Chain A
Amino acid sequence: MRKSQHGMITPTQATILIINYTLSVGILTLPRMAANEVGTPDVWMALLISSLVPLAMAFVIITLNKRYPNQTFYQYSGLIVGKFLGLFIGLVITLFFITDTIFAVRMMAEVVEIYLLEETPITILIVIVLWLSLYLVVGGITSIARVSQIIFPLTILTFVVVALMSLGLFELNHLRPVLGEGIRPIFKIKSMALSTLGVEIILIIQAFMTDQHKAKKVIFLGVLVPTVIYLLTLVMVIGALSIDGIKNLTFPTVILIQSFEFPELFFERYDSVFLIIWTMQIFTTLSISFYLASLGLSQLFNKDIKPFMYGLLPIIFILSMAPKNLYQLSWLGDMIANVAFVLFGIVPCLLLLISFIRGKVQ
């Protein structure tokens, strides 16, 4: 039944890859962004509504994928729009994944720098993480999927534990009134829809899946689980610190974890423990984008993947040093999310349309 064929992943693994890719920087920053955008305690409803956006995008994508089974987007985009334009779209997507890697690795290094290792040069942190990531991606998508399978339960466990621990600070009043300012605020979903984006990698990883007919289940769970985790984060953070309390905190989730203490257990504070788990989480995010970027280059130019992996390494490193501070980095994050929306929301729609028309002509 389960073939341990090289380079293939099971639907479970695909789901976990999507979940791991989705859960990244948003865990730390989403409450602030949501609080600033929505402004009322109804953010959690806005989040639920916003999760429909990636779901809809993913449905378009899997419909498109279905027309070209066992091929990645890099391979079949040329078939739809012609070789040249296909190459162009492929390169843009590759560039997107490279930028995504850069953002993830830099963000991770920044957070580690702030909370864990104050005086260690950020370059060293980035280099070490990139080496680790290279070691992982050289093993192909199977290795990435398996490492994600190790990290995923740890993340879930940590989240549940953190949520339970912060119950002592939880005040229901902070989440009230429900719909106090009418229904309008809950449609201010831009920042949340962008943070919960991640399911788009199904565009490429579906080709590696063993049971491709299960793609619908994969994307459904791939959207549902991150949404639940983000929901939990939002509710816990806002319930403890209130909407107004988090508006100008850089990483409200960390503040939440810093605010409770359980000295009777082995640790007194849990922020470092949580951040370590978060670092692992973002490590998978950046490894997935790293892999997808190298995969794109290798499939677009029809060459072996390994040289591209090695070659991308210094490029990613140099570019990750370009942002000067957290503000520029956050700006980069916003840009990535916007581009992702266009690239994985609109482009697949157009391609699907063209593909339908072409299919009819033939």
Chain B
Amino acid sequence: MRTINRFILLFIISIVFLSGCWSSTDIEHLSMIIGVGIDVGQVERNQTTDQDELLEVTYQVANITETTSSLENSEQSGKPYKNYVETGNSILKTAYDVNYKTPNPFFSQHQQLIVISSELAQQTSLQELLDHFKRNPESRASSMVMISDGMARDVLESDDPTDIPALLITGIADHAKSARILKPITLAKLFSKLNTNTSFLLQNVVKEEDEVKLMGAGVINGDTLTLMGFLNDEEIHGVTWLTASTDEGIVLVTDEEEHAIVYEVLSLKSDITPTLKNNKLTFNVEIESEGWISEVFDVSDKITKEEQLKKLEELIKKDAEHDIEKTLKKLQEEFQVDAIGFGEYVRINYPTYWNEHKDNWDEIFSETAIEYDVKISVVDYGMKFDE
């Protein structure tokens, strides 16, 4: 009896310990996807396969052997990343196809960036493009989503042997202290926008003369969830003024003698109040900013004297109002969508009105009058003290 019992015990222990490891893969046997780029499928390059290959997906995989290990021969080796390109009509299918070419299975939990080319975004709804990332429990909800005015695969290329482009881009987006770059939009934040069919802005990333640049933003139409067009840097700055989305940034103005003066924003507040009168909606935006003068290209430096202060503030205010005006004009007249979240304030302040009109909000927005008032106060002149 005892021996039988012992055998059973041994059997159980071996079941538990030996049959485990189903899900285990040692870390070095994984191909870490850092970034994904999605382009329109190049049909003519793929004559061998079916015509309906809509997508061309670029997978940026960290090529780790050459980045960290064996420091002594890192110079002679190749790039720290490797891009795999595959066409197909779904994201997952391309992932499976491209996996035939890689030594290790793909691993997307370190994916930091999704870049969608403008061409594709104009044709296809983002809802469809990002559906896989929503369903897949492995995908990282904190990865950033960006639009590229150009080819996404170009953005994910770099000549610099030390950079991984996807990490470079997310790094810039994370640290950039600029009023001309949008706050990064992650997958998790995007889901709610896609669900509610809200129009919104997506950071644009382009490749210019072998350099990756974050400039401008794509405007996504809430109804179709496709790209409508782009806002440029100045217009982004206008968005920043209106929504006070960041406390960082500088304003460069020139006085009448063409001297450049830099105003560095210390604080930025905007108060957006919708008013509903006779079923007619108006917005009033109060923008207040404090900042200091941190650079002046003028020998006499008379601009930083107390008596000139009003003039200086006026200059900056003009610049801001110029940006805002341009932005609003573009959004209201050209695109006719509310991509900067003014609807949110209507939802909060006039919930019943919002419920009635939320489906054609973009139309209403484009016809709504938006009053804005900018108050600039220069509180300091930097670490320079003149008597």
Contacts and interface: CB of A to CB of B under 8 A. Distances in A.
Interface of A: 40, 114-121, 124, 128, 169, 173, 176-177, 180-181, 240-242, 244-249, 255-256, 258-261, 269
B269 interface: no
B348 interface: yes
A247 B140 contact: no
B186 interface: yes
Contacts of B23: 116-120
B189 A259 contact: yes
Contacts of B141: 255, 258-259
Interface string B335-357: 00000000010011101100100
Contacts of A173: 344, 348
Nearest to A111: B137
B195 interface: yes
8 contacts: A117-B22, A173-B344, A241-B189, A241-B191, A258-B141, A258-B188, A259-B141, A259-B142
Contacts of B47: none
Contact of A249 (B20, B109, B191, B193): B191
A180 B196 contact: no
B68 to A, nearest CB: 16
Given A120-B23, A259-B142, A180 B188 contact: no
A173 B189 CA distance: 14
Interface string B1-21: 000000000000000100110
B279 interface: no
B22 A121 contact: yes
Contact of A180 (B16, B109, B140, B351): B351
A111 to B, nearest CB: 10
A5 to B, nearest CB: 35
Given A258-B140, A259-B186, A261-B142, A245 B351 contact: no
B345 to A, nearest CB: 8
Given A119-B23, A259-B187, 11 more contacts: A114-B137, A116-B23, A118-B23, A120-B22, A169-B188, A177-B351, A181-B351, A242-B192, A245-B191, A248-B195, A258-B141
A255 B188 contact: yes
Contact of A245 (B16, B192, B352): B192
B349 A244 contact: no
Interface in B158-200: 186-189, 191-193, 195-196
How many of chain B's residues touch chain A, expressed as a range?
20 to 34
Q: Which 7 A-B pairs have the closest CB atoms?
A: A245-B192, A180-B351, A259-B188, A258-B141, A244-B196, A120-B22, A176-B348
Interface string B77-116: 0000000000000000000000000000000010000000
A269 B192 contact: no
B109 to A, nearest CB: 8
A244 B137 contact: no
Contacts of B195: 244-245, 247-248
Contacts of A245: 188-189, 191-193, 195-196
A40 B348 CA distance: 11
A258 B191 CA distance: 13
Contact of A177 (B16, B142, B348): B348
A245 B141 CA distance: 13
Nearest to B198: A244
Nearest to A256: B188
Contacts of B22: 117, 119-121
Contacts of B142: 258-261, 269
A255 B140 CA distance: 9
A269 B140 contact: yes
Contacts of A260: 142
B191 A177 contact: no
A201 to B, nearest CB: 32
B41 to A, nearest CB: 28
A45 to B, nearest CB: 15
Contacts of B20: 120
A95 to B, nearest CB: 30
Nearest to A272: B109
A241 B348 CA distance: 16
A114 B139 CA distance: 12
A25 to B, nearest CB: 17
A259 B22 CA distance: 28
A261 B138 CA distance: 15
A78 B252 CA distance: 85
A118 B108 CA distance: 14
A255 B190 CA distance: 12
B351 A115 contact: no
Given A255-B141, A256-B188, A177 B355 contact: no
Nearest to B354: A180
B244 to A, nearest CB: 13
Interface in B128-151: 137-138, 140-142
Contacts of A261: 142
A98 B19 CA distance: 29
Nearest to B21: A120
